[in-house]
Every structure is written in structure tokens, then in C-alpha cells.
Amino acid sequence: MHPLLSLTVSGLLALALTLEKDSSLDCVPRKYVPYHNRLIMKHGLRTCGDLSLGDNAHLFREEGVFNYSIMLLREDLNLLVLGAREAVYALDLNDISKKLSSVKWEVTQKQKENCKNKGKDPETECKNYIRILHKMADDKMYVCGTNAFDPECDYMSYADGKLTLEKKAEDGKGKCPFDPFQRYASIMYENYLYSATSMNFLGSEPVLMRSSPVSIRTEFKSSWLHEPNFVAMAQMPESEMSAQGDDDKVYLFFSETAVECDCYNKLVVSRVARVCKGDLGGQRTLQKKWTSFLKARIDCPVLESQLPYIIQDTFRWCGPQQRWKDCLFYAIFTPQSDTSDLSAVCAYRVSEISRVFAEGKYKTPVPVETSFVKWVMYSGDVPVPRPGACIDNEARKAGITQTLDLPDRTLQFIKDRPLMDQAIRPIGDKPVLVRRGPTFTRIIVNQVQATDGEKYYVMFIGTEKGTVLKTVNYDGDTFIIEEVQLFQSEEPINILKFSNITGQIYAGSDYGAAQIPLATCGRSSSCMDCVLARDPYCGWDKDVGKCIFLSDSQSELIQSVKEGDASLCPDAEPFKPMNRSIWPGGNLKLHCHLPSNLAKTTWERDGSPLTPSTRLQLLGDGLLILNASESDAGLYRCLSVERSRADEYTTTVAEYHVGIGPTGSGRGNPITPQAQVGGPSVTGLQIIVGLLVVSLLALLAWNFYNGHLPLPWNCRKQNREQSQDIHIHGDPNSGVAYQDAPRTALAEDKPLVPGTDNGTGNNHHTRGEAAFSAAEESETDGPKVTVPSLQYIDDESEI
């Protein structure tokens, strides 16, 4: 075979395989739940508005307040503490539309002026955006805000139903970002604040810092943090039942410009870093700096993408009785180029991340002749104790009980080489979800045990369009149960939280905060719809004939989450047809709303499949009958056909009995004319017409009496007198007599003379000017235009 032909065939095969893979990227949610108009709680009073959700969901917002992007679940107080721009709210955890208390934290005019003088927007940037909100050991809360590009922190308490700021201002530099639109991360772990943000006004000094008891931070070196975007932080209790006497860890997820990349353009990569809880810094080297800071690349391979996808959010899932090694991190990734609209979710084992840091190779910088630094795998001797490791039993045996005792050789090694050589790969070496559409922004994960005894991870994913996807993975098959629109405007989801106590999900955006349940099983009205939803939270209860939450039932429920086997359902009750009638030659639409986006519509007439035509058009939401005839009468049935992994299932959605009669289109099936009941009668219409005629005659008589409308004989007499007057006082061919005499009379009484108008009513002035022009042109030929006709035209132009 010719080499060029061989390459062409190979390329076509690769393209075919790619297209086959991409076919699963356009998976749609089985159901889409739009925004609904309900009641909200605003300023403590229930008012009718367009700012809430249906299906037991609630929404909170206050007029003039934006950026609801930080939440703290105080389940001990049954509160959702919500931070926004210049305000903090205490909301009822069961119904966040109920505001229990609030506190304002606004910037002063002087602070706003200083911020404005530094070149920032006084209406957006020079405000106090709440960014840090954590619970402390004494039940107080630690809160920080951007404070017009001068971050500040304070303590807040909730007692007797009231939020209170204690006004103990603390410097927030290194704890809270200066810029309200800059990414950051923080956690409060054993009353110590760990934060990742910028140390300066310009945002050019990124730092991972622990504020107390001893302030420890990262080095200001590009090999440590290089133009990072911080995403999330989490702690892991790795000291529990540790045979090595290990320490607890704090993990940081972020993206940054890769220092190890040998390329001309900047390449952004995703990272995970970790530090030890007991780190106190070094004695001489790395004083008050992390001695345990290590970082590694974290990958999420999406198809055959050339550029790595960038991490946007993570969620740590750990079961109640689960060991830390079995915990998982779920992470959202999006492309770093505008040429792709894919988003992905990858899952990682904490044990694998820990192993890379504990046993992996290091990268080291090597100068080359072209005057730049190349990073390669370090193959030399590694100092003891191991650089970046926490103090463990082996170190204690060597007399090293704290990081201040570490030798300078170990500290210098980690100062120069904080990057690991091995990248962290996801479980299965592939994403658990890849989808084309609105960009993913936030993720939370919950585990639920279905009726088959297995436990499933259900992912709730926020998007940039203000929706939340509910998706689950069954044996490698990604299934999107539903997509719920939380906000009326398409605002990105900025935060997602979940409460085990209430079983509710809480979301925040710039527009407001929303609350939705884990599942709304009542959306499924039939057993088949309930089973085909494949929602592990829901099952069909045969006793009550409803789709209900698993924990709400004591009886055995019908559920098939893996296969979607709806054959387990009992036979559905027969439909009662709705009557419809239509005029011969008229049009009629028969509505059919499918219970699922995955279903297809088929229609039957009198038990036989309906063939679409120009007169019978199949629409997305029904059937349209055009130019109806006698042959269109009959029984129409709309069927929903949906395929699952088990089989293809057909169910009746709607039935119509259509009759062709003289009564026109309407509800019911009348065949003969029926007397109208409750509408206007013919006698009433006759009376109304008679009153209108009498009123018109009275109006005409009043106008004749007052002279506004001259009588016809008076009009003819007046025209003769005016004609004689013109012949006596002036030449009819004279311009003066032609213009002055009629206009003088018109200026006095302006009689309205009826005449025939063959033109449009909007061109009166144009017709009058044309008549005058014609009269001037005929001056040499004699008086061909008479005065009465001129007066009539002039009157009409005046009107």
C-alpha cells in the first residue's frame, strides 16, 4: 500500500474511534427541572415574587446584596451562616428563606476612598466581600473580608437568636485575599487557620500559610508557587492508627504555571500539595517556612487532549467509619483553551496521593547551555530523614522530635526540590464523567445504599448556568438523573454544601442562595417513570402507589438502578380519553408531555401507528392536525418509548377522542349545536346596538344645532353666495382673489363640507398642495378650478 494512502486510512480510523467516544459526551439529563415561581422570605416577610423554586426548594436573597459565595453549616445550632458582600446572615437550616438574624460589615468612606485612589472600582472592588467563615472550638466563628483591598478578620457569635460581630479587628493579610475576585482556599483545623491566598495588594506574592500557633508559610520562590490559582483545602487524620507514628496532613489543590515545562508558551497544570500539621519550620534553613511542603501534578486525562485540563474544585468523601486511606477526592476539571466545551470529573484515592509523597522520586532543576533551567528526575542520594516527610517514629529514634531538629541538608534539599516527579492518576486511569455543555464549577458527593444492597456515589455538580446536575456511575455507565435550575438568571454556582442532618443541598451564587433536597421522588408519577429514573434515593411503593424516598418507607420498594428494569412494575391503570372536537377544515393540537428527555414519542390512531404527513405533523410536545376532515376523527393515543439497559418500555402518556363537528374546536365532543349558557344573549346585543345608534343621531343633531355641521341646503346656498362675492370683488383668475377670499371665510367659521375622498386619510396636506399647484398652472387657460371645489380641498387640508 502507498505510504500516503496508509496514513489516510489510519487517520480516518482514528477519527472514527474519536467520534464513537464522543457519542457519550452529549448525554442529556433524563429530566430537566426548570425554575419555578413560588413564595420567598424577604426581609422577614413572605412576599410573592419570582425568586424561589418548586419541589420543596427554597431561595434566599436580599435586595441590593450580592455574592453569596461562602457558607458555614452550623448543624449544632440548626443554622446556615451565609456570607455575602458586606453582610452575614443566619438562616434556618431547614428553610433558608427564613432569615433569623443578620449583621452588616460595611467599609467606611475613608477606606473606600483609599481603595479608589489605588485604582480600584469603588462600586464593585472597594467593598467588603466575606471570604473566610469557620467555626472555632469555643463555638464562636472566625470571619474575614476583603475590606476594600485591606483584608480584615473578626470574631462572631450567635446567641439568643442574634448574630454579633465582636469588633476585635485582626490583620487579614495572608488569611483573606485582597482581590474579591481572586481564587483562594482555607480551612480551620484544630482551631488553626490554614489559608492559601496572596500576601500583597498586587496579588504577586502567593502563600500557603498557617496563622497560629507559630506562623508558617511557603517560600517566595517560583519553584514553590508559580502564578497559582488556589482551589480547595482539606485535612486528613493520617496519624490515626498509624504504625509509623505519622502526622496529620493538610492538602491543597491548585493550578499554576508549570516550571518544569520545556516549552515556549506558558503551560498551566493542576497540582496537589501537602504539609504536616506539626510543622514548626527549620532552625536556620527555612525559618518559619514549611519544611514539609511537597507538591505533585494531578492529571485527569480527557480523551486525546493535548493540553492538560485544569482543576476547578474538589470534594473529600469519607464514610463515617472509614479509614483515611479509603477516602476519595472528587475533582472537577475544565479545558484551558477555548476550543473545547468539555468538563470532566476524576476521582482519586487518598492512599495513592499519600504514597506518591512518601515514596516517589523528586524533580530537580538542572542548568543547560541555553541559559534556562530544565527539571528532570533526581537520581542522586536522598538525605535522611526523608525531605518533606513528617516527624515519625523513625525520626524520633534518631533524636528528631520536631522539625526544628531537622538537619540543614534535608532542609536545603526540600527548599530546592519541592516538586515530585510522578504525577497522580485517577482511579481507573480515566474520568468518571465527561460531558459537553455548560462548564462545571462546583461538586459535592454523597453515598447512598440502594435496595440491591450496594452503595453508590451520587455526584451533584454545579454549572456556570446556575444549574445542578445529579449524576451517578453504574458499572462504568454514566447516568444523569436530572438537571435542576436553581436561579432565574444564569449565574454560576459559586459554592455547594451538603447537610447529613437535613438531607439538603445548599448552593450559592452572585444572585442568591438556594436549597434543594437530595431527591424529589414525587416528580415520578408512575412506577415505570420511577424505576426508569434509576435514582438510588427513590423507589416505588406498591402499597401507597407512589414513588417515595427510600428512608421514608418500611415496606419493600421497586427499584432497579443498574439496569432500569421496569418489568417489575404492576400494570398501569387504563387512561380515560379526553374529548376534543374540531370544525371541518380547522386545526387542532393534541398535547403530549413526555416524562423523560430520553424518551421518544409515537402516536396511534384507532390502534394503528400514525404516519406523519403535511396535515398530521409530529411536534416535540404534541400532534398538530391541519385542515381537518371527516377521516381525522378517531381515538388518538400518545405513547412514550424509552430504552434502558434492561429493555425498551412503552407507556401511554395521553389519549384523545377527536370528533369532527359543527361546533368548532373546543373541549368536549359536541356533535350538534348547543345553546350558549352564561354568555351574552342576542337580545342584549340588540339593545347595545340600539343605544349606539340613538347616541350617534343625538350627536349629529347637537352638531347641526350648534353650527358645527351645516345643513346640506345651507352648504349649497353658501357656496353660491361665495361664488357671486368672488366675481363681484375680484377676478377669478387673479392670484389675490383666488387665495385671499376663500381663506378669509375659512378663518372665520371653517365649515366642514362632506365630499368624496379617493385617497388615504393620512395625506390631506399633500392633496391640498397639489390642488393649489394645479390651479396656478391653469391661470393662463382660464378658471378651470371653481371656488367651491377649492374651498372643499382647503377645508379638508385644514381638518
- DSSP letters spanning 576-631: PPEEEEE-TT--EEEE---S-TT-EEEEEETTEEPPP-SSEEEETTEEEE-S--GG
Evaluate if residue 371 carries a pLDDT over 70.
Answer: no
Q: What is the pLDDT of residue 295?
A: 98
Evaluate if residue 729 carries a pLDDT over 60.
Answer: no
* End-to-end Cα, the chain, rounded Å: 92
Grade residue 707 by pLDDT with cuts at 50, 70 and 90.
Answer: low
Q: What is the pLDDT of residue 419?
A: 97
Helix axis angle, 764-777 to 787-798, nearest 10° = 150
CB 455 within 8 A of CB 485: no
CB 87 within 8 A of CB 62: yes
Grade residue 347 by pLDDT with cuts at 50, 70 and 90.
Answer: very high
Largest CA distance in the chain: 139
Q: What is the mean pLDDT of residues 769-790?
A: 38
Per-position b or e across 168-181, b if 16+ CB within 10 A of its CB: eeeebbbbbbbbbe
Looking at residue 512, its amino acid is G
Question: C-alpha grid cell for residue 73?
Answer: 453549616
114-118, 388-392, 673-677: least confident range: 673-677
Grade residue 380 by pLDDT with cuts at 50, 70 and 90.
Answer: very high
- Other C-beta atoms closer than 10 Å to the C-beta of 31 total 22
Q: What is the mean pLDDT of residues 406-433?
A: 96
Q: From 287, 286, 256, select the one nearest 273 (Cα to Cα).
A: 256
Grade residue 684 by pLDDT with cuts at 50, 70 and 90.
Answer: low
208-212, 368-372, 502-506, 698-702: least confident range: 368-372
Q: What is the pLDDT of residue 709?
A: 59
CB 388 within 8 A of CB 357: yes
Q: What is the mean pLDDT of residues 341-359?
A: 96
Evaluate if residue 176 carries a pLDDT over 70.
Answer: yes
Q: What is the mean pLDDT of residues 163-176?
A: 94
CB 31 within 8 A of CB 482: yes
Evaluate if residue 363 carries a pLDDT over 90.
Answer: yes
CB 311 within 8 A of CB 333: yes
Q: What is the pLDDT of residue 306?
A: 85
Grade residue 370 by pLDDT with cuts at 50, 70 and 90.
Answer: low
Evaluate if residue 665 carries a pLDDT over 80.
Answer: no
Q: What is the pLDDT of residue 711?
A: 55
Q: What is the pLDDT of residue 690?
A: 74
Residues 463 and 486: their CA atoms lie apart, in Å, by 10
Question: C-alpha grid cell for residue 692?
Answer: 349606539
CATH architecture under which domain 67-432 falls: 7 Propeller (2.130)
Helix (H, G, I), strand (E, B) or coil at 566: helix
Question: C-alpha grid cell for residue 738?
Answer: 383666488
The string of pLDDT tens digits covering residues 688-698 is 777 787 778 87
Hey, which CATH number is domain 578-667, 2.60.40.10, 3.50.50.60, 3.30.70.2190, 2.40.50.140?
2.60.40.10
The string of pLDDT tens digits covering residues 550-572 is 988 878 899 999 999 999 899 88
Evaluate if residue 461 carries a pLDDT over 90.
Answer: yes
Evaluate if residue 252 carries a pLDDT over 50.
Answer: yes
Helix (H, G, I), strand (E, B) or coil at 42: strand
Beta bridge partners of 300: none
Grade residue 662 by pLDDT with cuts at 50, 70 and 90.
Answer: low
Evaluate if residue 714 carries a pLDDT over 60.
Answer: no
Evaluate if residue 10 carries a pLDDT over 50.
Answer: no
Peptide bond into 670 cis (omega under 30): no
Better-predicted residue by pLDDT, 795 or 123: 123
Percent of the chain, pLDDT > 70? 79
Q: What is the pLDDT of residue 766?
A: 40
Burial label, 574 (beta-carbon count in 10 A; 0-12, 13-18, 19+): exposed
- pTM of structure: 0.79
Q: What is the pLDDT of residue 264?
A: 74
CATH architecture under which domain 519-565 falls: 2-Layer Sandwich (3.30)
Rg value, the chain, Cα: 40
Better-predicted residue by pLDDT, 744 or 487: 487
Average model confidence (pLDDT) across the chain: 82
Grade residue 793 by pLDDT with cuts at 50, 70 and 90.
Answer: very low
Q: From 197, 396, 358, 198, select the one nearest 276 (Cα to Cα).
A: 358
Grade residue 781 by pLDDT with cuts at 50, 70 and 90.
Answer: very low
Estimate to the nearest angstrom the gap between the alpha carbon of 461 and the chain centroid.
11
Evaluate if residue 355 carries a pLDDT over 90.
Answer: yes
Grade residue 35 by pLDDT with cuts at 50, 70 and 90.
Answer: confident
Grade residue 713 by pLDDT with cuts at 50, 70 and 90.
Answer: very low
Please state the φ and ψ torsions of residue 792, each to the nearest 5 degrees.
-60, -45
Residues 611 and 675: their CA atoms lie apart, in Å, by 37
Evaluate if residue 797 carries a pLDDT over 60.
Answer: no
Q: What is the pLDDT of residue 15?
A: 36
Q: What is the pLDDT of residue 91?
A: 98
Would you list the DSSP string of 230-278? EEEEEEE-TTTT-TT----EEEEEEEEE-SS--SSS--EEEEEEEEETT
Evaluate if residue 505 carries a pLDDT over 60.
Answer: yes
Question: C-alpha grid cell for residue 395?
Answer: 525520626
Evaluate if residue 228 carries a pLDDT over 60.
Answer: yes
CB 301 within 8 A of CB 295: no
Q: What is the pLDDT of residue 111?
A: 95
Evaluate if residue 53 carries a pLDDT over 90.
Answer: no
Better-predicted residue by pLDDT, 338 or 662: 338
Question: Which of 271-280, 370-379, 757-766: highest mean pLDDT?
Answer: 271-280
Q: What is the pLDDT of residue 27?
A: 82
Q: What is the pLDDT of residue 37?
A: 41
| Residue 488, CA distances (Å) to 512, 681, 787 in order | 10, 46, 70
Q: What is the pLDDT of residue 683?
A: 56
Q: What is the pLDDT of residue 328?
A: 97
Q: What is the pLDDT of residue 708?
A: 62
The string of pLDDT tens digits covering residues 532-547 is 999 999 999 998 999 9
Evaluate if residue 748 carries a pLDDT over 90.
Answer: no
Q: What is the mean pLDDT of residues 496-502?
A: 95
